[in-house]
């Protein structure tokens, strides 16, 4: 005789569907002769898509109307997602939320897993790498991480050189070694004890130029040395501290026995990071921007005697910096040399460019295209330069037509018999 055993029906323990809709197959073994589920179906399986209590009644030769039940619960909650790391503006707050009212909420400092808050929403104003642990009902816990950081403008913006270009304009070159989150740079100059903003230069403009340079069209390089500093402005409008200032070299002349004395000022860096002790004498023999070294200033001496000036030539003093401004930081093709304002010396030691009021006027300014240029000194030539120092027009006419050019700021270099005058013109 063969003996068989029949187990009582067993649907297993109650179930909980965590964070997703109910989706279960309930099944019975094929050892029974008949099946009757709570929904009236008679198969060996029941597909369940909603929470509730489900029954099955089975029969065979050994058992009659044996019943088992199972309760399926649904605990819905969204998937935990704190999103991408956040970089916020310094001085602001960042609010984070769990996105759901979980039974358990633990905001932790990921550095040491210490719990600092158990609310559904938190507000931060300092940098922190955060771990969030949440749980609903008896479901497994979920964990997510997010890094919160607050930007402040990068303070280490360093001027590479302050110089005077061959058009007589003060020019500074600086090194924006960090550009993430930076929108623009402010250029400042010192006037006595006052610090005056000269210009705001957009980072996009710097990128489009491929240069980190600025030409100051508002300052006369012939009358004094000028110190400049830069700051960075981040995308939140916060401004960094002033960089160390760099002061240009200024030259002027006086008559002396045997010739003309070329006097120079020192190149000065406000933080004292270096002191220039190498000054050279330069000449532009044909006033065409081609500078060459002809001599040096004696150590510690700020005067140089010019005995036989070259007719029509410009003379300069140059400060040899203890480093080289390379690549797009090249200045007048004299990398690492800060060049002074130009001085033209005649055989009798008269400075044609110093201390002469050229009385140049431009009107209307701004203009939609036509500019009239006047001076009580004879005008020999007018050059128009764009904002990166390129000559776009050279003419003897005192009527300038820029109506075909892009709106913006241009530089008018007006040559008179007493030297050039630099003026800013605005095309609107």
Q: Tell me the pLDDT tens digit for each residue of 86-124.
A: 988 877 899 999 999 999 999 999 999 999 999 999 999
Q: For residue 408, how many other CB atoms are within 10 A of its CB?
A: 12
Predicted confidence band of residue 199 (pLDDT cuts 50, 70, 90): confident
Q: For residue 377, how many other CB atoms are within 10 A of its CB?
A: 17
CA distances from 67 to 33, 39, 64, 404 (A): 14, 14, 9, 94
pLDDT tens for 349-368 read 333 444 456 678 899 999 99
Alpha-carbon dihedral of residues 313, 315, 320, 326, nearest 10 degrees?
-40
Residue 326 has pLDDT above 60, yes or no: no
Q: Determine the pLDDT at residue 206.
A: 57
Top mean-pLDDT range of 23-37, 298-312, 379-393, 412-426: 23-37
Residue 383 has pLDDT above 60, yes or no: yes
Is residue 3, in this structure, part of any structural domain at all?
no
Q: Which of 134, 151, 168 is the last residue of a domain?
A: 151
Is residue 1, in this structure, part of any structural domain at all?
no
CATH number (domain holding residue 225): 2.60.40.10
From CA 335, how far away is CA 296, in angstroms rounded? Answer: 17
Instruction: Tell me, yes or no, whether 168 and 302 share the same domain.
Output: yes
Is residue 388, in this structure, part of any structural domain at all?
yes
Lowest mean pLDDT among 49-53, 133-137, 168-172, 376-380: 376-380
Instruction: Tell me, yes or no, whether 308 and 369 share the same domain.
Output: no
pTM: 0.55
Is residue 139, in this structure, part of any structural domain at all?
yes
From CA 108, how far away is CA 423, in angstroms rounded? Answer: 61
Predicted confidence band of residue 67 (pLDDT cuts 50, 70, 90): very high
Scanning the structure block, which residue is given the tokens 């749980």?
A: 135
Q: Which of 344, 370, 397 is the last residue of a domain?
A: 344
CATH number (domain holding residue 134): 2.60.40
Contacts of 317 (CB under 8 A, 6+ apart): 249, 251, 262, 264, 279, 280, 281, 282, 297, 304, 339, 340
Is residue 8, in this structure, part of any structural domain at all?
no
Q: Across residues 215-237, what is the average pLDDT?
A: 88
pLDDT tens for 256-296 read 888 888 999 999 999 998 888 899 999 887 777 788 889 99
Task: Say what percent of the chain tops pLDDT 90.
Answer: 47
CA distances from 335 to 231, 286, 408 (A): 24, 21, 30
Scanning the structure block, which residue is given the tokens 């002769």?
A: 33
From CA 300, how far away is CA 303, in angstroms rounded? Answer: 9
Residue 246 has pLDDT above 90, yes or no: yes
Predicted confidence band of residue 1 (pLDDT cuts 50, 70, 90): very low
Instruction: Tell me, yes or no, whether 286 and 163 share the same domain.
Output: yes
User: Which tokens belong to 193?
Assistant: 């004890």
From CA 345, how far away is CA 348, in angstroms rounded? Answer: 8
Instruction: Tell me, yes or no, whether 258 and 180 share the same domain.
Output: yes
Instruction: Tell me, yes or no, whether 37 and 164 share the same domain.
Output: no
Q: How far is CA 24 from the centre of its chain?
A: 55
In this structure, are strands 86-89 and 142-151 parallel, antiparallel, or unpaired? Answer: parallel
Residue 156 has pLDDT above 80, yes or no: no
What SS3 class is residue 208?
Answer: helix
Q: Which of 31, 56, 75 is the last residue of a domain?
A: 75
DSSP letter for each residue of 235-258: TTS-BPPPPPPEE---EEEEEETT
Instruction: Tell me, yes or no, whether 288 and 180 share the same domain.
Output: yes
Instruction: Tell me, yes or no, whether 213 and 336 share the same domain.
Output: yes
Q: How far is CA 191 from the centre of its chain?
A: 27
Instruction: Tell me, yes or no, whether 20 and 164 share the same domain.
Output: no
Q: Across residues 203-226, what is the average pLDDT?
A: 74
Is residue 96, in this structure, part of any structural domain at all?
yes
Strand partners, 96: 122
Is residue 329, in this structure, part of any structural domain at all?
yes
Q: Are 52 and 72 in contact (CB under 8 A)?
A: yes
- What is residue 368's DSSP assignment? S
Q: Across residues 40-69, what is the average pLDDT?
A: 94
Picking from 72, 76, 71, 102, the residue whose alpha carbon sits closest to that of residue 21 is 76
Q: Determine the pLDDT at residue 5.
A: 58
Q: First-to-last CA distance in the chain?
A: 112
Domain range for 130 is 86-151
Instruction: Tell me, yes or no, whether 35 and 108 share the same domain.
Output: no
Is residue 259, in this structure, part of any structural domain at all?
yes
Instruction: Tell me, yes or no, whether 93 and 194 share the same domain.
Output: no
Specify the higher pLDDT residue, 196 or 157.
Answer: 196
207 sits in which H/E element? helix 203-209
Classify residue 327 as exposed, middle or buried by CB count within 10 Å of its CB (0-12, 13-18, 19+): exposed
Instruction: Tell me, yes or no, whether 108 and 63 share the same domain.
Output: no
Q: Which residues of 18-56 are buried (b: 16+ CB within 10 A; e: fewer)?
A: bbeebeeebebeeebeebebeeeeeeeebebeebeebbb
pLDDT tens for 5-24 read 568 899 999 999 988 889 99
User: Which tokens belong to 260?
Assistant: 């003309």
Lowest mean pLDDT among 24-28, 37-41, 201-205, 267-271: 201-205
Predicted confidence band of residue 387 (pLDDT cuts 50, 70, 90): low
Instruction: Tell me, yes or no, whether 333 and 276 share the same domain.
Output: yes
Contacts of 402 (CB under 8 A, 6+ apart): 367, 369, 370, 371, 384, 393, 410, 425, 427
Residue 198 has pLDDT above 50, yes or no: yes
Domain count, the chain: 4
Predicted confidence band of residue 253 (pLDDT cuts 50, 70, 90): confident
């Amino acid at each position: 005789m063969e003996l068989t055993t029949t187990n009582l029906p067993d649907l297993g323990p109650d179930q909980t569907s965590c964070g997703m809709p109910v989706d279960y197959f309930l099944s019975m073994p094929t050892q029974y002769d008949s099946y009757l589920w709570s929904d009236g179906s008679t198969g060996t399986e029941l597909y369940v898509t909603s929470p509730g209590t489900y029954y099955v009644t089975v029969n065979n030769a050994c058992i009659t109307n044996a019943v088992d039940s199972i309760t399926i619960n649904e605990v819905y909650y969204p998937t935990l997602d704190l999103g991408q790391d956040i970089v916020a503006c310094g001085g602001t707050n960042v609010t984070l939320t769990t996105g759901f009212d979980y039974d358990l909420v633990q905001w932790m400092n990921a550095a040491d897993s210490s719990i600092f808050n158990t609310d559904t929403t938190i507000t931060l104003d300092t940098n922190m790498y955060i771990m969030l642990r949440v749980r609903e009902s008896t479901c497994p816990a979920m964990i997510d991480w997010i890094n919160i950081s607050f930007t402040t403008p990068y303070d280490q913006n360093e001027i590479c050189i302050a110089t005077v270009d061959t058009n007589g304009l003060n020019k500074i070159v600086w090194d924006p070694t960090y550009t993430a989150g930076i929108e623009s740079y402010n250029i400042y100059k010192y006037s006595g004890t006052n610090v005056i903003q000269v210009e705001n230069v957009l980072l996009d403009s710097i990128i489009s130029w491929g240069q980190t340079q600025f030409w100051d069209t508002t300052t006369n390089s012939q009358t004094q040395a000028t110190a400049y500093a830069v700051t960075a402005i981040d995308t939140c409008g916060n401004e960094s501290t002033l960089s160390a200032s760099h002061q240009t070299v200024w030259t002027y002349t006086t008559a002396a026995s045997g010739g003309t004395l070329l006097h120079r000022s020192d190149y000065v860096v406000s933080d004292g990071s270096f002191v220039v002790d190498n000054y050279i004498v330069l000449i532009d023999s044909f006033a065409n921007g081609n500078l060459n070294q002809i001599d040096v200033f004696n150590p510690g001496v700020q005067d140089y005697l010019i005995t036989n000036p070259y007719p029509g030539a410009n003379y300069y003093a140059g400060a040899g910096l203890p480093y080289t401004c390379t690549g797009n930081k090249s200045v007048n093709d004299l990398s690492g040399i800060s060049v002074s304002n130009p001085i033209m010396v005649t055989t009798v030691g008269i400075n044609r460019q110093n201390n002469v009021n050229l009385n140049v006027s431009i009107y209307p300014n701004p203009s939609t295209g036509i500019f009239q240029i006047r001076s009580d000194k004879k005008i020999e030539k007018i050059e128009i330069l764009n904002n990166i120092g390129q000559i776009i027009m050279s003419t003897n006419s005192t009527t300038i037509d820029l109506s075909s050019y892009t709106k913006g700021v241009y530089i008018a270099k007006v040559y008179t018999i007493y030297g050039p005058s630099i003026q800013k013109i605005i095309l609107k």
